[in-house]
Amino acid sequence: MTEPGRIVVGVSGTPTSLQALRVAVAETRRTGVALRAVLAWAPPGGELSYRRAPCPPLLRFWEDEAAWRLRNCFDEAFGAVPHDVPVQLDLVRSDPGAALVDSADRPEDLLVVGAGARGTVTRLFHGATTRYCVANAGCRVLTVPPPALLSELPRRLRHSVPAPPQEILRPPLTAPEPAPGESRSQHNS
């Protein structure tokens, strides 16, 4: 017996990926199949750079930041992860195109990707991911055009991704101060 298809959507936090997420959720509501939201990430500088100077604490930090971006995509698009559809959130440490094609591995799946606006950044990143998915996916691929209002944004904001809050970016490096009436030795035990 074959497994039922799913809707797999690539998200990154850009306005175009949020539009793809909205379309994927609407399609999930229409069909009743499960939604799998995939955010692909890699260490800054790429895997080769990380292998030259590995740092596990930094790697955990980058993964936490990617997990925040994945949840934040739903917050930006809907206010929260919708509870009326089955949603699976996946962080994949990989190239975005390969992660999406590998995630949509059933012939019955539907892969939803943002087509991106026309421009240099899109041709270098979003366009390459979209082309890779269309050329290599073993399932149907739906490319979603960018939101109409995207062209009205200043060029520097069209492909920006929101930054996580400062408390995620800067974890405390020292122990918190003890409460009044509590000695430091009691607090650390």
> What's the pLDDT tens digit per position in 12-71?
988 889 999 999 999 999 999 999 999 999 999 889 989 999 999 999 999 999 999 999
**Predicted pLDDT at 121:** 41
Q: Model's pTM, two decimal places?
A: 0.76
- CA 81 to CA 103: how far, in whole Å? 20
How far apart (Å, rounded) are the C-alpha atoms in residues 177 and 11? 39
Task: Please state, for a pLDDT cut of 70, what percent of the chain lies above it.
Answer: 71
Using an 8 Å Cβ cutoff, are 162 and 75 in contact? no
The Cα 25–Cα 78 span in angstroms is 10
pLDDT class of 116 with cuts at 50, 70, 90 = low
C-alpha span between 69 and 48 (Å, rounded): 23
> What pLDDT sits at residue 139?
96
CA–CA separation, 78 and 35 (whole Å):
15
The percentage of the chain sitting over the pLDDT mark of 90, rounded to a whole number, equals 58
Q: Give whole-number Cα distances, 177 to 171, 174, 184, in Å.
A: 15, 9, 8
Contact in structure between 11 and 73 (CB atoms under 8 Å): yes
Tell me what pLDDT residue 33 has: 96
Position with higher pLDDT, 138 vs 172: 138
Contact criterion met (CB below 8 Å) for 27 and 112: yes
* Model pLDDT, residue 146: 80
Q: Does domain 7-188 have CATH number 3.30.420.40?
A: no
User: E strands, 18-136, where?
Assistant: 35-41, 87-93, 110-114
DSSP secondary structure code for residue 175 in this structure: P
